[in-house]
Amino acid sequence: MKARRLFLLLFLPVLLNAQEQEPAAAKVVEQWDYLELTLEGPETGNPYLEVDLSAVFTNGHREIEAQGFYDGEGIYKIRFMPDEPGQWRYKTWSNVWPLTAQEGDFTVTPAGEGNHGPVRVYQQYHFAYADGTVYYPFGTTTYNWLHRPRETQKATIETLRGSPFNKLRMLVFPEGKGSRSAPERFPFEGDPPADWDFSRFNPEYFRQIEARLLELREIGVEADLILFHKYGSEWGFDTMPAEVDDRYLRYIVARLSAFRNVWWSMANEYDFVKTKQESDWDRYFQIVRAGDPYNHLRSIHNGFLIYDHNKPWVTHASIQNGAAVEESGRAQMYLDVWRKPVVYDEVKYEGDNERRWGNLSGEEMTHRVWCGIVAGTYVGHGECYNQPDKVVWLSTGGRLHGTSPARIAFLKEILESGPGPINQVDKWQDTQLAGVPGEFYLKYFGHDAPLEWTFQLPRAGVRTGQVYTVDIIDTWDMTVTPVEGTFTLERKDRYHFVDEAGRVVDLPGKPNMALRITRVGGQAGRVTEEDPNL
């Protein structure tokens, strides 16, 4: 192996927004942004197979090891996402001498505006950014957008910027070509459709993905990266040898872990990938977990057979279910099973597709997202209206045409008006009610169309004398109508409190109405752990 002159570059990732750029020489990086070490090393042999590279980063009291990767043409990189401001140092390690024992230091500044860090599980069933800001996932899916023409990608980013969506599901490997143009790039060296040198990655392919991830990061969208799928069988990426699968995972995790908006989704419809066993998926999870020093969220999305989300490497359940969020009582059932957040990433899509997974009305899509929210879960949007140009959001991104996104934005605002994540308060009695007990509630009537609702709250967290306001919410017309006056609690029976004057809320007899119930007076109540049925 030829020894080469070594130089070391330390610079920040190029952000599209010029205002966020820092001088390359500054040796300064923002918390939860990433530092990128660039080293020159051997390009003979096969660096993808032969060169190990990592670095240990420390701020004195903590050490974090990050894996490096070969970026082609003799360039090696190590990326690091610091999670604390202060002075940090690093030292590289490699089995190749020009890459090893390189040392340096840098300064980490506090996170700037709009930078809340990576998303974590929060309050058992929910999510928050690392800085503590609650994150309510309102996701959508554009499976193949990373592999479509640049113009479509730009349109996708612009659409997302103006949408409520803050999470995007996408495939790392391209979909099958179908009737569209083939992707411009492929993840391995070789020739399409399937003549690949699986021992050599195509760095350009991954650089393109990284650029898109930074664009998403810039607009506050989490990137739910789907690592395997079965939709591109012509390319053969679902039938690679196990050692290639594993190397691919180590490579992409080394490249992308430092992006704070990355989530790892092992697969879409994992059980439809007939070439793999359940033990393969277990192994993938463990490889991803081992290679990612930041512990980004990890999930696996099912077809018809649900993975065992109790396994310790699963951070949240990513569910496809075509019926679960038709009704909030169904939607909440999985929470008790896994004691983890449940995200219904696929619940059928809004659209006019002839297949029944793709022809929900906007009304029904909106209804399903509400059902999920008042179940204490989250629901992913998708859209597949047939378009003359075949630019269908679900697959390619581009533009949205449906009627649900505006309503989802409205729901998101309602949810954000509350004090934090909501859970079902009395799950075996009223599956249409969720809230923060004694503080804030959403009641969603779904397909029911009542003419009135007697003010009543379950006992958890409430007490006599508490005072509440009620807003009537039309989830489709997107109106919020305050009910005049307030509601003052007194105990009704063992389980419930009602307004002391027996007040009733008049409702318009329409479906898809909701209530927002907010405490505005009285003392906070207590939430006990007792058997709620006693």
Query: In the complex, which residues of this chain contact its own copies (CB under 8 A)?
Result: 269, 272, 302-306, 308, 310, 321-324, 326-327, 329-330, 333-334, 336-337, 339, 348, 354-357, 427-429, 431, 494-495, 531-534
Nearest approach in angstroms of CB 44 to its own copies is 47
Q: Which is nearer to its own copies, 55 or 335 (CB)?
A: 335
Q: Which is nearer to its own copies, 214 or 317 (CB)?
A: 317
Nearest approach in angstroms of CB 263 to its own copies is 22
Nearest approach in angstroms of CB 336 to its own copies is 5
Round to whole Å and give the CA distance between 241 and 238: 9
CB under 8 Å to 230, separation ≥6 — which residues?
238, 269, 272, 273, 274
Nearest approach in angstroms of CB 315 to its own copies is 16
Q: Which is nearer to its own copies, 296 or 309 (CB)?
A: 309
Q: What angle do helix axes 203-218 and 150-161 make, rounded to 10 degrees?
A: 20
**Token pair of 301, please?**
């999305």
Round to whole Å and give the CA distance between 389 and 176: 18
Nearest approach in angstroms of CB 346 to its own copies is 10
Nearest approach in angstroms of CB 288 to its own copies is 21
CA 166-172-175 angle, 5° bins = 105
Smallest CA-to-CA distance from 214 within 166, 256, 175 is with 256
Round to whole Å and give the CA distance between 80 and 89: 11
Q: Which is nearer to its own copies, 78 or 300 (CB)?
A: 300
Nearest approach in angstroms of CB 121 to its own copies is 17
Q: Can you say how many angstroms the Cα of residue 518 is from the centroid of all Cα atoms in its chain? A: 29
Encoded amino acid at 454, one letter: T
Nearest approach in angstroms of CB 302 to its own copies is 8
Residues 325, 332 contacting (CB under 8 angstroms): no
Nearest approach in angstroms of CB 338 to its own copies is 8
Task: Supply the DSSP symbol for 62.
Answer: -
Q: Which is nearer to its own copies, 320 or 475 (CB)?
A: 320
Q: Which is nearer to its own copies, 76 or 231 (CB)?
A: 231
CA 372-296-312 angle, 5° bins = 75
Q: What phi and psi, each to the nearest 5 degrees, are found at residue 24?
A: -65, -25
Residues 202, 185 contacting (CB under 8 angstroms): yes
Q: Which is nearer to its own copies, 323 or 524 (CB)?
A: 323
Q: Which is nearer to its own copies, 40 or 327 (CB)?
A: 327
Smallest CA-to-CA distance from 436 within 421, 417, 457 is with 421
Q: What phi and psi, each to the nearest 5 degrees, are found at residue 392?
A: -105, 125
Q: Which is nearer to its own copies, 213 or 306 (CB)?
A: 306
